[in-house]
């Protein structure tokens, strides 16, 4: 499955909390690479990848949610989290 666009947003986390982690509720191991996480996101068609900090887990979020809603949520959350290494990746399919 291909995607149209991929964008990184620093200091941004949306759908914070385990009930919003669509594929693995407790997150993916912090040792995974960004490339591995993109592959998993595309495989499961999850539009949001979150790295919860420099030494933190990865999360896949936003499966089945409207892309316009995701963009609004990202805009509201940009630069909100000051913990080092927090970012989200938005994949548009």
pLDDT interval class at 83 (50, 70, 90): confident
3-class SS string, 28-86: ECCCCCHHHHHHHHHHHCCCEEEEECCCCCEEEECCCCCHHHHHHHHHHHCCCCCCCCE
10-69 pLDDT tens trace: 999 998 876 767 788 889 999 999 999 999 999 999 999 999 999 999 999 999 999 999
């Amino acid at each position: 499955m291909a995607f149209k666009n991929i964008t990184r947003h620093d200091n941004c986390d949306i759908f914070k909390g385990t009930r919003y982690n669509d594929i693995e509720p407790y997150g993916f191991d912090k040792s995974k690479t960004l490339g591995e996480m993109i592959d998993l996101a595309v495989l499961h068609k999850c539009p949001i990848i979150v790295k919860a900090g420099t030494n933190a887990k990865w999360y896949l979020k936003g499966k089945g949610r409207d892309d316009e809603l995701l963009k609004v949520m990202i805009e509201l959350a940009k630069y909100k989290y000051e913990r080092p290494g927090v970012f989200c990746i938005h994949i548009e399919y």
